[in-house]
Amino acid sequence: MARLDRVATGRYHHGDLPRAVLDVTADLVAESGPFSWSLREIARRAGVSHAAPAHHFGDKAGLLRTLATEGFELLDAAFAAAEVDAAGRSAAERHLAQGMAYLAFAREHPGHYDVMFRRGLFEPDDAYLEVAARTFVRLVESAERVVAEAGAGDADDLAVASWALVHGLAGLTAEGFVEPVDDADLERRLLWACLLPAGS
Amino acid sequence: MARLDRVATGRYHHGDLPRAVLDVTADLVAESGPFSWSLREIARRAGVSHAAPAHHFGDKAGLLRTLATEGFELLDAAFAAAEVDAAGRSAAERHLAQGMAYLAFAREHPGHYDVMFRRGLFEPDDAYLEVAARTFVRLVESAERVVAEAGAGDADDLAVASWALVHGLAGLTAEGFVEPVDDADLERRLLWACLLPAGS
DNA sequence: TGTACATCAGTGAACGCGCGTTCACTGATGTAC
DNA sequence: TGTACATCAGTGAACGCGCGTTCACTGATGTAC
C-alpha cells in the first residue's frame, strides 16, 4: 500500500516512513515471527530503498524495541478503557474485563504482542521500561482489588496466575492450537479454570 | 563436548551425529529461539563439517520437526509417569499433578518446548502428528475425569483453560517475566487462579 | 580368519545469493531575512 | 513575496560476509563368502 502510494505519487519523501515501517514490521512479525525477515524485506514492502529503514531505526533491534514500546502503549490504553467500561462493578468482574481486554489486544495486534513478551530481542530503553512497568502495575492493582474484596489470597499469586492464563490462551490461539471462540465462550473458559481447586 | 570428543579421538565417523546435532539444536533454541542460528553454526558446535547436519536432517525444517517430535515423546512420557505417581488420588489432584509435570518439562527442556508449540516452523509428518495427538489426549482425558468427578463443567473448556494456564506460566517464566519459584509455591499459583470466579 | 565389495557417514572446495552497513549523493522542506 | 541556506529524508552503488546447497571425494563399517 505504501509502495502503491509512492509509485502513484512519485514522491521523493515518503510522508511518514517510520509509521509505514512499523506497520510493515508488525505484519511481518505476525506472519512469521520476530526473526524470519530482513530490513531489506521491510524496505521492499514499504516501497523505499533498502537503506531507508535504518535511517530511522538504526538496526533490527531498534525497530523491534520501538514496536514493543508502541505495543505496551496500546495495551495500557486498552486496560484503561476496560477500567472505564467496567467502573462500578465488582473487583472480580473488573479483573475479568481486564483479561478480556488483554485477549482482544493480543488478537488485534499479533505482531506487537509477539515482540512484547519475548526477551533478548533488544536492550530495553527508558521509554520501554516506563510504559511496560505502567502496564504491569494495572495488572497487579486489579489483582490486589480482587484479593481485598475476597478477603483472602495473595495478590501477586493471583496476578501471575491471571496473566499466565490469558497469555497462554493468547499464544495457543495465535499458533492455531486452540480454536478462536466468541467473547461469551471466552469468558466461560477463563472462569472454568477454577474447577480445579474446587476438587482439591 | 562433541567437538572435544572428536578432537580427542580423531575419529572420522562421529558415532552418533544425529543425537549430537539435536542436542546442539536444543541448546541453541533455548538460547536464542528457533530462528537465530544457522545449520553451519550447529555443525561448528557439533564439531563436524558444515554439510554434515544436512546429511541427516535435510534442512532446518527437518531438524526442527525431529526436535519437536522428540519433545512430544518426552512430554508424553512425563505425563505417563505423573499418572503413575498420582494413581489413586482424586481426579483434581491428578490433573494438578499433570500440570506440574508439564511445567517441569518446559523448565527442563526449553529448546524442545519452544519448538513444539509454534506453528509454521515445519510441515508436520505422520510421526509428529501421532505423538502430538497422543499427548493431547492425555490432557483432555484428565480434564474429563475432573469434570466427571465434579459433576459439572465442560471438559474441553477445562482442558483449554488448564493448558493455557501452564503454557502461559511456562512462557512467562522462560522469558524472565515471572520469577521461578519452588514446587509448593507453583502449586499454589495454579490453584489460586480460582479466586476470580469465587468473586463473580 | 581373511578378503572383496557395497553401503553409509562425513569432508571440503566451490557456487551464487541476500544480507547489513557504509557513504557520497540528491531531492525536499523549513526557516531566516 | 522572494531568495539563500541549513537541515533532514531517502537513494543507489559498493563492500565484505555468512549462508544453504551441490558434488565429487574419502574414510569407516558391515556383510557375504
pLDDT digits (tens, 9 = 90+) for B165-186: 999 999 999 999 999 999 999 9
Q: Can you give the pLDDT at residue B191? A: 84
Q: Which residue of B has its CA nearest to A186?
A: B157
Distances (CA, A) of A59 to A23, A29, A34, A155, B33: 16, 16, 13, 39, 19
Segment B52-88, tens digit of pLDDT: 999 999 999 999 999 999 999 999 999 999 999 999 9
Question: How many other CB atoms are found less than 10 A from the CB of residue A179?
Answer: 10
Give strand D nucleotides closer than 7 A to any protein Cβ.
9-14, 18-23, 27-29
Nucleotide nearest to A52 (CA to C1'): D10
Task: Give the integer Cα–Cα distance in Å for B138 and B78.
Answer: 11
Amino acid at A153: G
DSSP one-letter string for A18-75: HHHHHHHHHHHHHHHTTTS--HHHHHHHHTS-TTHHHHHH-SHHHHHHHHHHHHHHHH
Contact check, Cβ <8 Å, A196/B146: yes
Using a CB-CB cut-off of 8 Å, the residues of chain B touching A166 are 164, 168
Contact B169 A160 (CB under 8 A): yes
pLDDT for residue A124: 95
Q: Any atom of strand D under 7 A from CB of B39?
A: yes
Q: Which three cell numbers stand for residue B135?
A: 499427548
Measure Cα distances from A158 to A62, A88, A95, A140, B11 in Å. 34, 21, 10, 8, 56
The amino acid that residue B22 corresponds to is L
Instruction: Choose among A154, A158, A164: nearest Cβ to B168.
Output: A164
CA distances from B122 to A158, B18, B109, B119, B162 (A): 36, 18, 19, 7, 26
Q: In Å, how far from its chain's centre is CA A96? A: 17
Neighbours of B144 (CB within 10 A): 18
pLDDT: is A196 or B49 the higher one?
Answer: B49
The pLDDT value given to residue B152: 85
Checking each nucleotide's C1' against the CA of A61, the nearest proves to be C20
User: Are A147 and B195 an interchain contact pair (Cβ–Cβ within 8 Å)?
Assistant: yes
pLDDT digits (tens, 9 = 90+) for A124-163: 999 999 999 999 999 999 999 999 998 988 999 999 999 9
DSSP SS3 for B69: helix
The values of phi and psi at residue B87, to 5°, are -55, 135
- Residue B70 Cα, gap to closest chain A Cα (Å): 18
Total residues belonging to chain B: 200
Residue B104 and residue B186: Cα distance in Å, rounded?
11
CA of B18 vs C1' of D22, distance in Å? 21
Which chain A residues contact residue B86 at CB under 8 A?
none
Contacting residues for A167 by C-beta, under 8 A, at least 6 apart: A102, A117, B168, B171, B172
Report angle CA B136, B93, B184 to the nearest 5 degrees.
105
Q: How far is the CA of A178 from the C1' of D25 (A)?
A: 50
Does the C-beta of B61 come within 7 A of strand D? no
Rg of chain B (C-alpha set): 20
Q: Which residues of A touch B35 (CB under 8 A)?
A: 33, 35-36
First-to-final CA distance of chain A: 56
Contacts of A149 in chain B (CB under 8 A): 199
Position A14 confidence tier, pLDDT thresholds 50, 70, 90 = confident
pTM value is 0.92
What pLDDT band is residue B199 in, cutting at 50, 70 and 90? very low
Question: What residues contact A46, with CB distance under 8 A and at least 6 apart?
Answer: A2, A3, A14, A17, A20, A21, A24, A52, A53
Q: Taking all residues of chain B, what is their mean pLDDT, rounded to a whole number? A: 91
